[in-house]
Amino acid sequence: MGRSRAAILLAAALPVAAAGCGGDGGGDRPAATTAPPRTFTNPVLGGNFADPSLLRIGDSWYAYATGDLVVNLQVARSRDRAPEVARTPAGFVLYSTVRHADSGRQCISVAVARQPEGPLRDTRRRPLVCQERLGGSIDPSRFVDRDGSAYLLWKNDGNCCDQPTELWGQRLDGDGLALEGEPVSLGTRDDAAWEGDLIEAPTLWREVNTYHLFFSANDYASPGYGVGYATARRVLGPYHDGPGKPILRSRGSAAGPGGQALVRTGNGGLWLAYHARDGAAVGDEAGGQRSMWLDRLEFVDGRPRVDGPTDGPQEAP
């Protein structure tokens, strides 16, 4: 499944949180009231809005996603909360999966815009990353470490042609438009039973002095799709799978959650944005569209935990 981390074609309001107020009074003096907490209910963005990533500009949030079967890429804007376009000295930089004309493989390219809504322009003559012998390269994700150094993560698309899939990383230059050094295998591949035939969608997060590499695995169209993680002491690994089964799996009305992105809100809360299907399963495939969901993520004794998917009301970020 090819995955791009952003888009700039569809603008919409993102209904993440709804403010509420209430109270009752009598006579000529209104009674003191306390506004109840703002709440929201998943999915925060309906329809086909898969593989979300988030970008905050001022008091607005932008959510980017892969195509909805009509347009190739999408963006939604919200002043409450809102994948992944990065802001660098070159402008707003989008890493996306494209079809390489010469090889027929899916590869990673980069485009730049002056505004988060676009238009984006890709002027490259060749892909930024294209591991043709490994099936191609997809699912780009950018990570910036505490010292300001930036890295690009991705997956080799081995499942296209009966090869193993692994997660990779390489350092980016200051503008985010070129890679430095050589690509490094992060030591994470589809070798656990629950992961099925593929691992994809790398997302990196540093918690204290440990790097947590989140990923999605299994067939994206099945209820077995979910989110796992691996850890390392260095940004380019090697990484080792976290204990147990996936930290996010099908539950309640959400099937096949994955394509995750992490975001920290202004009040310090940490959230996981992802897509999940909401339709009844047909055989081994999950039905419905891949809508955008949002749930809290926390670290307990150094391990990430998501209390989700949550399909009931919860307090907004």
Q: What is the pLDDT of residues 244-278, one digit of tens each?
A: 789 999 999 999 999 999 988 877 799 999 999 98
CA dist., res. 160 & res. 162, Å (int): 6
Can you say whether the dihedral through the CA atoms of 253, 155, 120, 174 is positive or negative? Answer: positive
Q: Does residue 192 surpass a pLDDT of 80?
A: yes
Average pLDDT estimate for 181-199: 93
82 belongs to a structural domain: yes
19 belongs to a structural domain: no
14 belongs to a structural domain: no
More confident residue, 254 or 120: 254
Q: Do residues 53 and 303 touch, judged by C-beta distance below 8 A?
A: no
pLDDT of residue 137: 97
Give me the number of domains the chain comprises.
1
Structure tokens, 225: 């799709």
**Domain boundaries, position 266:** 39-315
18 belongs to a structural domain: no
CA dist., res. 55 & res. 266, Å (int): 13
pLDDT of residue 75: 67
Confidence band of 82 (pLDDT split at 50, 70, 90): low
13 belongs to a structural domain: no
CA dist., res. 304 & res. 317, Å (int): 18
Provide the CATH number for the domain around residue 212. Answer: 2.115.10.20
CA dist., res. 282 & res. 45, Å (int): 23
Confidence band of 87 (pLDDT split at 50, 70, 90): confident
32 belongs to a structural domain: no
Q: Does residue 10 surpass a pLDDT of 90?
A: no
Of 87-101, 136-150, 200-214, 294-308, the range with the lowest mean pLDDT is 87-101
pLDDT of residue 38: 86
Beta partners for 18? 39
More confident residue, 180 or 59: 180
Spatial CA neighbour of 314 closest among 299, 295, 291, 297? 295
**Average confidence score pLDDT of the chain:** 83
pLDDT of residue 140: 94
Spatial CA neighbour of 138 closest among 124, 152, 158, 155? 155
Q: Does residue 279 surpass a pLDDT of 80?
A: no
Rg, Å, the chain Cα set: 20
Structure tokens, 40: 């929201």
Can you say whether the dihedral through the CA atoms of 107, 77, 53, 87 is positive or negative? Answer: positive
287 belongs to a structural domain: yes
Confidence band of 2 (pLDDT split at 50, 70, 90): very low
CA dist., res. 248 & res. 13, Å (int): 27
pLDDT, tens digit, for every residue of 26-49?
445 455 566 677 899 999 888 888
- Residues above pLDDT 90, as percent of the chain: 58
15 belongs to a structural domain: no
CA dist., res. 233 & res. 228, Å (int): 18
Q: Does residue 54 surpass a pLDDT of 90?
A: no
Q: Does residue 106 surpass a pLDDT of 90?
A: yes
Burial (0-12, 13-18, 19+ Cβ within 10 Å), 69: exposed
More confident residue, 52 or 27: 52
Q: Do residues 212 and 166 touch, judged by C-beta distance below 8 A?
A: no
Q: Would residue 193 be called left, alpha or beta, if left means φ above 0 and alpha means ψ between -120 and 50 degrees?
A: alpha
Q: Does residue 1 surpass a pLDDT of 50?
A: no
Cis peptide before 246 (omega within 30 of 0): no
